[in-house]
Structure 1
Amino acid sequence: MEITMIIKELYLEHFGQFHEKKIKLHKGLNIIYGENEAGKTTIHTFIRGMLFGLERGRGKAAKQDTYSKYEPWDMPGAYSGSMRFEIAGVNYRMDREFKTERKSVRVICEDNGKLLTPEEQKELFGGLFEESYYNTVSVSQLGGQTDGDLSLVLKQYAANLSSTKHADMNLKKASEFLRNKKKQMVKENQVDKKAVWKNAWLDLEEKEVSQKVELKALEEQMTKLVAEQQTVQTEYDRELATEQKERDTLRQMQVECKTLCDRQLELIKEQKDLQTKIGEKREQIGRMMQALETVGLSTLDDVLAEMNRQEKKNCISLWSYLFFLLSTICTAYVFLVVQIPTAGFACLAITLTFLAVFIFRTLRRIEAKKEKLMELEKCKDICIRCAATQSEFEQLRKTCEEEEHKSAALNQRIQTMEREIQKKISKMPEKTKEIAKYQVELKQREQKLQWEMEQQFKKQEELAEERAGIRERLQIIGEAEVEVKAVELALSRLEEVAVKIKGSFGIRLNEKASYYIDRITGGKYRKLVMDDDLQIAVHTDHRVLEVSQLSKGTMEQIYLSLRLAAADLIFEQEHKPMLLDDAFVAYDNKRMAMTLQSLSDMVEQSVIFTCHTREKAVLDKSEIPYHVIKL
């Protein structure tokens, strides 16, 4: 299936002297016309840059390379463009950023909007590489060489196409390149020192064996040292446990002592509170005792005796009044019985009067007595409470004394235990010091062994790195040997190519080139042949002509025919746009007309860059369709 590529539009956003410049191209012939310095070469380079990018040179070369030459004049920071094209009837747009810091390229299918991946981009452009582009579809004139020089150029171009499918590689230079490559690989990869590296590998193995023996001995010493440390540590832990047990006992007794002391302080505080209360009660009792003394009482017993006496006195008085009242009533009754009414009523009146006075005085005395009894009861209650408080105080005082005795005994016990513990501790330092000293010695030995083992491990790492380096070097040497053999084989094959010019590619190249030279020359030269000696000749109807016998214009036609033939063979079923930069300078009008007619008939799209008007005049005269773009 034939696949055709057509460039539709160039957009030089920021490129060289152009800023936002659009150029539309069409199928068939396209003439881009412009005077010198108008930008034809810039557009030609832009197409190349869009297809393959622009790589910046290094060092001094960067000042004169293509990248620097076509940086935008007015906006160096902007360096970009796009190209619309069609492949197999599908429309695409390629956007490229040329600036090194942000270099990028993306291809979008305009028919469905899909963004192509890098792999899909490679597949899209097929076998179009920069080298094949320069050797086939990008055509310029052969230059200002003499006819003899041109024949040599054609011979070299044809020979290299036959052998390598690339036209810029000189066979002699290729052979020289391969020999230099072989020499460089041998030198850089030390292929000739393989035996030295193998001996280094054997020495390394011996070092590793010795190092493993030393490391094993150190590990055994470390194992013994660890066991010894564990024994010493066990003994030390046992001594510490005994000492700690004694200290814990002492600490427990100190806690108990503190608890008793706290309790003692609480009791002392309570004792002080009770003493304060007792003092207050004593003041109350004092005041009451003064009150009691005013009535002739001084003690609680006196109070109780007075209360009993008053009760008895009250009882006697009551019985006296009752006896008097009964006597008077009896007298009145006698007078009434003996019929002395006046005397009887008089006695009754006197009796009632005395009774009333008695009752009144009795009530007053009862109230006074009641108040006095209440005072006595209050004094009694105060005395009882004072006695109870005094008893409680005495009980607390006894409790405090008991707690003090307990605390003193506990303190005595603690002091005794402290003396015993200190006595034991005083005996322990020597042993502990010995153990600690021995532990320090063991630790120092351990650190020394650890350091020695670390050194051995470092040696292991160094040996491993050295082993890896030697292995890598031997691997590189092995790979280099393979490459050297490949280079030697390539040299052998390259020499064979020169004597097999009539191989399949050479035959096909002759056939294709003959087809194009016949069309381009209008049948004047029907066949183009390269022989075993890479001599180029063309056949007419009557004779065979060597290339050295031909004119410069005919040589240019042969050059174009070879490029067209190479494009067919390299790209096979893929048709690429043909770019011709001032390619017809050596052509006369007749040759130009036949060549342009052939391009119009055989090439899907041609872009001709020229500063002359001859091409346009010839096309108009020959009525060959074309499109012109003026810069």
Structure 2
Amino acid sequence: MIIKRLTIKNFGKIHNKTLELSPGINVLYGENESGKTTIHTFIKSMFYGITRQRGKAAKNDAYTTYEPWENPGEYGGILWFECGGKNYRLTRNFYKNAPFHELLCESSGALVNAEKGAMEAVLGGVSEAVYDNTVSVGQLKSVTGQDLVRELQNYMASYQGTGDSSIDLGRAAQMLKMSRKGFLTQVDKRKKDILKEKEKVAANMEYLRQELNELEERLDSVAAKERNLHIGEENGGELLEQRIQKASRKRVYAWCLMAVFPVLGVLGAAFAPNGIVLTISLAAGILLGLICLGKSLTLGRELNKRIRMKERWLSRQEKLQWNRDGIEASSKEKEMAYCNLEEEYRECDAQLYLPAAEDVEIQALNMALETIERLSGSINHQVGGRLRERTSQILSEITGGKYTEVLMDENFKMSVDTGERIVALERLSRGTLEQIYFALRMAAGELLCGRESFPVILDDVFGMYDEERLCAVLKWLHKEQKQIIISTCHKREMELLERENIPYQKLLLS
């Protein structure tokens, strides 16, 4: 890719400025605060747009930082570039109330919306993170960030399978972990709900067990009272009935005797030989009749008493039977409820220990994550050498062979080989560290931007370089035959380029 021309209508402090860029090295020279970083940000924003933050974060985001104070409706510009053998014109207006994003292929005449995926296709799928951490090196950003580590790991995991970095296994793993977290939350909530329901069922079972024990005690009490209604070995009701029958027969005998004795007295008097016998017979008959009458009345009272006793006995028996029936019915109902609760309790246990749909999903997600980790680790071992090899080659060239190899572990912790010993990064000078990270960025850019060679944009990144280091880097950049945009507030880059007879284009910012 080659950026041919850019026109900034209104972006930050720059207004209505056009810059013509050459295919080779371009030096953008200007004093501090002259707008070099603004141009750097403008190029990135034209390729990838500007994402507006929300809330408090919006006060310091890129949109707010570079939003012009005057005429904000013209917030944007035009970028002409060549990519894939075709010429394009990219026009953007970032103004929030009237955004405009147009991509015109001047070679074919095709006109599309730059926000509908067209730019992604033109840029070969190179993400903003890759761009920002490889070919675009800003002030105080010469150390690779976490985005670069993730993109490199993703590249290593996908390069062998697809030949590019279109498959983002890092993102896939992250999405799987998020899904697993959601299922784990559901499982945890489900288990808590089941345990809560189990405790509730257990409490209801204990309450029913207490009620059943109370009903059993009441049933025992009714049984004891029923036993008390029996006299000896015989049924109390039958015995009372026998006594009533006996009392009734005695009363009948008494009534009969009461009627017979007066008749016998009269008959005795009728046949009496004299008056004394007559008197005695009548008196005896009347006296015996009265005695029988008294006995009959006594027996009547006893009979009524026996009848009332039986009625009370029958009433007590009926009440006890009613109580027994009620207790047994209530006990049967509660036993059925207890059995149902036991079944619910067993179901709760089964739900706790038997795998549910969420558990199956978690198991599947774990298997998928393990597969991704194995695949990533295997391909990292296979492809990681390409990154180390290219980084080592670049570092050896820009250090004059002083450092021959860069060593990296799986966490991208690096050391260097001088040919005689291994040196940890912590023991190297800041200038050498700048060279190592520069080499890593350039190597990663070649791997991650494999479809299209992007312009390398360096924004005041050579501050820690001495003259020898800077000269070596400039020679390497010229040898690679890429478009290079160097922003600087120093003249030594241009002086070294002229001394080494390296062609470049000078662009002045005032």
Q: Is the 8 A contact 2:89 2:104 kept in 1?
A: yes
Residue 614 of structure 1 pairs with residue 492 of structure 2 = yes
Cα drift, residue 122 of structure 1? 3.0
Amino acid at match of 1:567: G
Question: Is residue 514–residue 527 contact of structure 1 (8 Å, CA) maintained in 2?
Answer: yes
**Which residue of 100, 104, 109 maps to 1:104?**
100
Residue 83 of structure 2 corresponds to residue 87 of structure 1: yes
Deviation string, structure 1 residues 51-108 (Cα, Å, up to 9, x no partner):
0111111111111111011011211232121100011332110001111232231111
Amino acid at match of 2:128: E
Aligned-residue offset at 1:37: 1.2
Tell me, yes or no, if the aligned pair for 1:186 and 1:192 is still in contact at 8 Å: no
Asked if 1:578 is matched to 2:456, the reply is yes
- What is the match of residue 12 of structure 1? 8
**Structure-1 residue corresponding to 2:24:** 28
Residue 105 of structure 2 is aligned to residue 115 of structure 1: no
Deviation at 1:186, TM superposition (A): 3.8
Distance in 2, Cα, partners of 1:137 & 1:189: 44
Amino acid at match of 2:103: V
Alignment of 1:443-462 (within 5 A): none
Structure 2 residue 43 is the aligned partner of structure 1 residue 53: no
**Offset, 1:484:** 5.0
SS of alignment partner, residue 403 of structure 2: coil
Q: Which residue of the partner structure matches residue 75 of structure 1?
A: 71
- Match for residue 554 of structure 1 among 429, 432, 446: 432
Contact 1:520–1:598 at 8 Å: present in 2 too? yes
User: 1 CA distance for matches of 2:18 and 2:424?
Assistant: 46
Amino acid at match of 1:560: F
Counterparts of 1:540 and 1:626, CA distance in 2 = 33
User: Once the 2 structures are TM-superposed, how far is the Cα of residue 610 of structure 1 from its aligned partner?
Assistant: 1.3
Amino acid paired to 2:59: K
Structure 1 pair 188/82, CA: closer, same or farther in 2 (3 Å)?
farther
Deviations 1:554-597 (A, max 9, x none): 11111011111111111224201111111111100110011011
1:431-580 mapped onto 2 (5 Å cutoff): 488-489=366-367, 492=370, 503-531=381-409, 534-580=412-458
Contact 2:152 2:444 in 1 (8 A): no
Residue 574 of structure 1 aligns to a residue whose secondary structure is: coil
Deviation at 1:162, TM superposition (A): 4.9
SS at match of 2:73: coil
Q: Is the contact between residue 162 and residue 501 of structure 1 (CA under 8 Å) also seen in structure 2?
A: no
Give matches, 1:191-206, under 5 Å: 192-193=189-190
Q: Secondary structure at the match of 1:503?
A: helix
Alignment partner of 1:137 is 2:135:
yes
Whether the 8 Å contact between 2:173 and 2:372 is mirrored in structure 1 is no
Structure 1 residue 540: Cα displacement: 2.8
Where do residues 231-380 of structure 1 align in structure 2 (5 Å cutoff)? none
> SS at the partner of 2:102?
strand
Q: Structure 1: state its 5+ residue gaps.
A: 145-149, 167-172, 198-476
Do the aligned partners of 1:52 and 1:130 also contact (CA within 8 Å) in 2?
yes
Distance (Å, rounded) in 2 between the aligned partners of 1:486 and 1:9: 52
Return the index of the structure with the highest Cα Rg.
1
CA distance in 2, matches of 1:577, 1:486: 43
Q: Structure 1: which amino acid aligns with 2:32?
A: N
Contact 1:163–1:501 under 8 Å retained in 2: no
Does the 8 A contact of 1:158 with 1:562 survive in 2? no
Q: Is the 8 A contact 2:133 2:147 kept in 1?
A: no
Secondary structure at the aligned position of 1:102 is classed as coil
Give the SS at the match of 1:77: helix
TM-score (norm 1): 0.47
1:181 correspondence with 2:171: no
Which letter maps to 1:181?
M
Give me the whole-angstrom Cα distance separating, in 2, the residues matched to 1:576 and 1:483: 42
- Tell me the equivalent position of 1:590: 468
Distance 1:540 1:195, change over 3 A: closer
- Normalized against structure 2, the TM-score is what? 0.58
Q: Distance in 2 between matches of 1:531 and 1:66?
A: 35
Distance 1:557 1:98 in 2: 36
Q: Distance in 2 between matches of 1:578 and 1:78?
A: 28
Cα contact 1:513–1:562 (8 A) shared by 2: yes
Change (3 A) 1:23 1:83: same
What is the identity, as a one-letter code, of the residue corresponding to 1:134?
D
Task: Work out whether residues 56 and 100 of structure 1, in 8 Å CA contact, stay in contact via their aligned partners in 2.
Answer: no
Q: Which residue in 1 is equivalent to 2:123?
A: 125
- 1:288-319 deviation digits (Å, cap 9, x = unpaired): xxxxxxxxxxxxxxxxxxxxxxxxxxxxxxxx
Cα distance in 2, alignment partners of residues 135 and 560 from structure 1: 10
Q: CA RMSD in A?
A: 3.6
2:129–2:147 Cα contact (<8 Å) kept: no
Matched residue of 1:601: which SS?
helix
- Structure with the largest fraction of helix: 1
CA deviation vs aligned residue, 1:146-168 (integer Å, no higher than 9, x gap): xxxx7xx79x78865653349xx
- Find the counterpart in structure 2 of residue 599 from structure 1: 477
Tell me which amino acid in the other structure corresponds to 1:164: N
Any idea what SS the aligned residue of 1:516 has?
A: helix
CA distance, structure 2, for counterparts of residue 28 and residue 504 of structure 1: 34
- Quote how far apart the aligned CAs of 1:143 are: 6.0
Q: Secondary structure at the match of 2:25?
A: strand
1:300 maps to none
1:127/1:570 contact within 8 Å kept: no
- Report the identity percentage: 39
Q: Is the 8 A contact 2:183 2:361 kept in 1?
A: no
Cα deviations across residues 401-428 of structure 1 (Å, max 9, x unaligned)? xxxxxxxxxxxxxxxxxxxxxxxxxxxx
Contact 1:165 1:566 (8 Å CA) reproduced: no
Which residue identity is paired with 2:36?
Answer: K
Give 3-state SS (helix, strand or coil) of 1:545's partner. strand
- State the alpha-carbon separation in 2 of the partners of residues 106 and 113 from structure 1: 12
Distance in 2 of aligned mates of 1:176 and 1:10 = 39
Mapped contact 1:30–1:608 kept (Cα < 8 A) = yes
What SS is found at the alignment partner of 2:101?
strand
Q: How many residues align?
A: 334
Unaligned regions of 5+ residues in structure 2, if any? Answer: 157-169, 195-355
1:164 alignment counterpart: 154
- Match of 1:465? none
Contact 2:471 2:496 in 1 (8 A): yes
**Cα distance between partner residues in 2 of 1:192 and 1:579:** 51
Aligned equivalents of 1:482 and 1:122: distance in 2? 37
Contact 2:123 2:452 survives alignment (8 Å): no
Cα distance in 1 for residues equivalent to 2:102 and 2:9: 15
Cα separation, 1, equivalents of 2:465 and 2:395 = 14
Q: Post-superposition shift, 1:111?
A: 2.8
* Alignment partners' CA distance in 2, 1:586 and 1:180: 41
Contact 1:581–1:610 (Cα < 8 Å) also in 2: yes
Q: C-alpha distance in 2, partners of 1:187/1:100?
A: 40
Aligned-partner SS, 1:612: coil
In the TM superposition, residue 116 of structure 1 has moved relative to its aligned partner by 3.6
Structure-1 separation of matches of 2:27 and 2:361? 49
